[in-house]
Amino acid sequence: MPLSSLISSLPKAELHLHIEGSLEPQLMWDLAKKHAIRLPYASVAQIEAAYQFADLQSFLDVYYAGASVLLDEDDFFKLMWSYLCRCREQNIVHAEIMFDPQAHTGRGISYQTFMPGFIKAIARAEDEWGMSVKLILSFLRHLSEEEAFTTLAQAKPYYRFIEAVGLDSSEKGHPPAKFKNVFARARQLGFKVVAHAGEEGPSDYIWQAIHLLGVDRIDHGVRCLEDPALVSLLRERQIPLTVCPLSNLKLKVIKDMGQHTLFTLLEQDLLVTVNSDDPTYFGGYLNKNFNVLHEALNMDAQQLRKLVSNSFKASFMEDAQKQHWIDKVNAYF
């Protein structure tokens, strides 16, 4: 079987996906029309053409502007539903999905609007094809810790639908240390904990995420290679890294895909996974991320097998469920 066919047919988990970053240009266009919102684009093609970024911040500016078309419960349902349908097409059987409450509450849209939309779409996918989904509430790190506390408190009616808390948005100048107290509170409440670290920011932010936030997983983390002691710690503790190749390329963390260090990380026995981050902005869903690794870095079948098994191993599923999927993956080889 050609590797691209194997990539599409294998059951996979996706662990690093921002739901707001899966907003398709066509849906953005339709929702703007529905709500009579003026977009700075004259066509769907112009929206797509605008997705050229110099760095993380230039992307985030476009990403938050795009999210402004999401106003009512049905908009959030459609956003989630569209991504879950993509999962079905791509054989993503389990997804751990981040959402940015503050990107909405900051515009006067409450949890009571977006959570029912998300929850209904997830329930339907679970029901219709047995997809499994967990939600990760992510704090915006360019805002204050006090605002993160408020965001966590506002989520209270929905705690049973949320698996973990995370940390995203502008990394440089906003170290994990800034959110030490709110992460301690989230852990006390029983949430799992993840954080973006070492994407654009220094490897020291990965140390902080581990020691000050007590993370179960690091999102990105590619800059760990700058610090051998950190690589040893990540290996010993098998702290997963949710790596996003197309994202790293689009945000100029790397110059070309041939320079991506994902396989260096894998060779060092780190628990590396492949993910799409913000697929509509970065040019591809999960299978495309695997395909570019094959094309640019000659990923072979054994490396694919390892990465896909890792996606289940690094997830927040129950152990028996992880093993069920890892056995299915192994059956392909």
Residues annotated as catalytic (active site), given as ranges:
199
Q: In the chain, what's the furthest Cα-to-Cα distance? A: 54
Q: Which residue is nearest to ligand HPA (CB)?
A: 168
The two tokens of residue 318 are: 């129950």
DSSP for 101-133, written as a single string: HHHHHTTT--HHHHHHHHHHHHHHHHHHH--EE
Question: CB under 5 to 8 A by kind: which of Zn ion, ligand HPA, none does 21 bind?
Answer: ligand HPA
Interface map 48-87 toward ligand HPA (x if CB under 6 A)? --------x------x------------------------
CB atoms within 10 A of CB 230: 19
Q: Considering CB distances under 5 to 8 angstroms, the limit depending on partner class, which of Zn ion, ligand HPA, none binds residue 197?
A: none
Which CB sits closer to Zn ion, 109 or 246? 246
Cα 39-48-15 angle, rounded to 5 deg: 105
Q: Are 56 and 200 in contact (CB under 8 A)?
A: yes
In the numeric block, which tokens belong to residue 68?
A: 């402004």
Residue 299 · residue 290 · CB < 8 Å? yes
| C-alpha to C-alpha distance for 138 and 165, rounded to whole angstroms | 5
Q: Which residues are registered as beta bridge partners of 112?
A: none
Identity of the residue, 13 or 17, whose beta carbon is nearer to ligand HPA in the bound complex: 17
Q: Does 96 bind Zn ion (CB under 5 A)?
A: no
In the stretch 270-309, what mask flags binding to Zn ion with x, by CB under 5 A?
-------x--------------------------------
Residue 250 binding ligand HPA, by CB under 6 A: no
Q: Phi and psi dihedrals of 272, rounded to 5? A: -95, 140
Choose from Zn ion, ligand HPA, none: what does 163 bind? Cβ within 5-8 Å by kind.
Answer: none
Q: Does 168 bind ligand HPA (CB under 6 A)?
A: yes
Residues in the interface with ligand HPA (CB under 6 A) total: 11
Site of interaction with Zn ion (CB under 5 A) = 277
